[in-house]
Amino acid sequence: MRSYRVAVVGALGAVGQQMVRILERSSLAVSSLKPLDIEENAGKQVSFRDKMWTVETSGKGKFIDVDIALFSAGAEASEILAPIAVSEGAVVIDNSSQWRMTDGVPLVIPEVNPEALRSHKGLIANPNCSTIQMLVALKPLHDAFTIKRVVVSTYQAVSGSGAAAIRELREQTQAVLDGRQAVAQVYPHPIAFNALPQIDVFLENGYTKEEMKMVNETHKMLDPNILVSPTAVRIPVFRGHSESINLEFEKPFELEKVFELYKHAPGVRLVDDPGHLAYPLALDAEDRYEVFVGRLRRDPSIENGLNMWVVSDNLLKGAALNTVQIAEKLVEMDLIGR
């Protein structure tokens, strides 16, 4: 059986650490791990499958002995390093936003559009966290009833903005409880005990970049004909994005059938028992691999309408896990060259 030399770029970051942990638990045959990070972290040790691996600085020449490079180093680093890694022969799976909408770069969720991997030229992009969990939930319904329009409002955790944001929520929260002033640095306004209707920067059309990612990535991965109307909101949650999703289908549907589809949908866990107050919750999704779906109910305001509540761990399926699953799928489909 073939085994793979894997590099993780940004191995000491929040998502990078999750990548190493998920890789460790995965069935992927890894012959060597190469943790790469910024210069000040070089020399540190990363534990992986009962061995310690030394962190090196990433750069030219570092990918010559690498089969698969998982990138989680941000868009700027990826712009420079990903082409280097590809030219040195590695297959790059990049978690940043840098290449997602680039023509010829597959943007992939294994449960949604694995076939897009066949045309890869060494570089594959991992989608935005809020898009991933939405599309894992939407895919089986789109196949069955053809989604016409999506109205989505998100309830996003701070960990999507990295370690500094997690610290900021913690510090601001303690300050408020102690009667002190909350100081905002990562976000433009205090996030503790607040709801911020802004994620990423504003664009000309009044939408944020985060909101337009949900539109554009849905078109690239699922179907360019699906209309998406998004509102992305940050709330004081550490981990786990929640989404309130309203769907309009082309075809009539039975609610029973939706439940049935979700019982067998890949990557989905149905949690929907209002009688026992069971529905997906951010706190329950922490450290879990699935996309949780619940509060399924017909929307009587349109002919073929459905409301639902979708939750997933933004650091796992929303980032590190999906990246590793792309690697697994590439191996399964025998799409790693050399």
- Helices and strands (DSSP H and E) totals, the chain: 8, 14
Check residue 8 for interaction with a second copy (CB under 8 A).
no
Query: Of 3-11, 24-32, 50-58, 300-308, which part binds a second copy (CB under 8 A)?
Result: 300-308
Query: Of 68-76, 120-128, 280-288, 323-331, which part binds a second copy (CB under 8 A)?
Result: 280-288
Least distance in angstroms from the C-beta of 131 to a second copy: 16
Kindly give, in sequence order, each residue whose CB lies less than 8 Å from that of residue 332, ignoring residues fewer than 6 positions away: none
Is residue 264 flagged as an active site residue? Answer: no
Give whichever of 24 and 284 is closer to a second copy, judged by the CB atom: 284
Query: Of 53-61, 70-78, 166-174, 217-225, which part binds a second copy (CB under 8 A)?
Result: 166-174
**Rounded to whole angstroms, what are the CA distances from 57 to 20, 24, 63, 158, 214?**
17, 22, 11, 28, 33
Least distance in angstroms from the C-beta of 321 to a second copy: 21
Question: Angle formed by the axes of helices 129-145 and 255-264, to 10°?
Answer: 120
Check residue 233 for interaction with a second copy (CB under 8 A).
yes
Is residue 276 flagged as an active site residue? Answer: no
75 closest CA partner among 100, 98, 106: 98
Least distance in angstroms from the C-beta of 154 to a second copy: 9
With CB under 8 A as the contact rule, the residue among 48, 81, 309, 322 that binds a second copy is 309
Give whichever of 16 and 305 is closer to a second copy, judged by the CB atom: 305
Using CB under 8 A as the binding criterion, the count of chain residues that bind a second copy stands at: 54
- The edge-to-edge listing of strands for the beta sheet with 91-94 is 56-57, 30-37, 4-9, 68-71, 91-94, 123-125
Give whichever of 104 and 300 is closer to a second copy, judged by the CB atom: 300
For the chain, where are the E strands, in sequence order? 4-9, 30-37, 45-48, 51-54, 56-57, 68-71, 91-94, 123-125, 147-155, 227-231, 241-249, 268-270, 291-299, 305-312
Say how far apart CA 293 and CA 245 lie, in whole Å: 10
**Rounded to whole angstroms, what are the CA distances from 188 to 170, 197, 200, 303?**
16, 11, 10, 41
Catalytic residue among 219, 241, 264, 276: 241
The 48-77 site mask, x for binding a second copy (CB under 8 A), equals ------------------------------
The SS3 assignment for 322 reads: helix
Give contact residues for a second copy (rule: CB under 8 A).
149-151, 153, 155, 170, 173-174, 177, 188-190, 193-198, 202, 205-207, 227-229, 231, 233, 235-238, 242, 244, 246, 274-275, 277, 279-283, 294-302, 305, 307, 309
Annotated binding site for phosphate: 100
Active site residues: 129, 241
Annotated binding site for substrate: 156, 234
